[in-house]
Amino acid sequence: MFSQQKLLKVIDADMHACRCAAPAPTDAPGKERQIQELAILTRHLEWAKSVGDDQAALEQIVQSLEKNMVVRYQRWRELSPV
């Protein structure tokens, strides 16, 4: 069972980590990857906000993040349970 609030906090923390990556990417592919990561995390954050405590939808969000090849964080499932 997932907590919407915990999932929102985890995604937000991942967005912060992506924005504050050190060293910041200086090459075009690195910058593009960072932009893609932030866009994916932003979409998932908005999705998570919109579903409330619907467990099936929260599970879909976590699965979508886990399957995404661009986003490299993999701790949503362990950090989001109630």
Q: Which domain holds residue 48?
A: 4-79
- Give the pLDDT score at 73: 67
> Mapping DSSP to helix (H, G, I), strand (E, B) and coil, where does residue 2 land?
strand
Q: Does residue 5 surpass a pLDDT of 70?
A: yes
What pTM does this model have? 0.87
- Give the pLDDT score at 12: 95
Residue type, 54: D
Confidence of residue 80 (pLDDT cuts 50, 70, 90): confident
Give the separation between CA 60 and CA 56, rounded to whole angstroms: 6
Tens of pLDDT, residues 25-71: 888 888 898 999 999 999 999 999 999 999 999 999 999 999 998 88
φ, ψ of residue 39 in degrees (nearest 5): -65, -45
Number of domains in the chain: 1
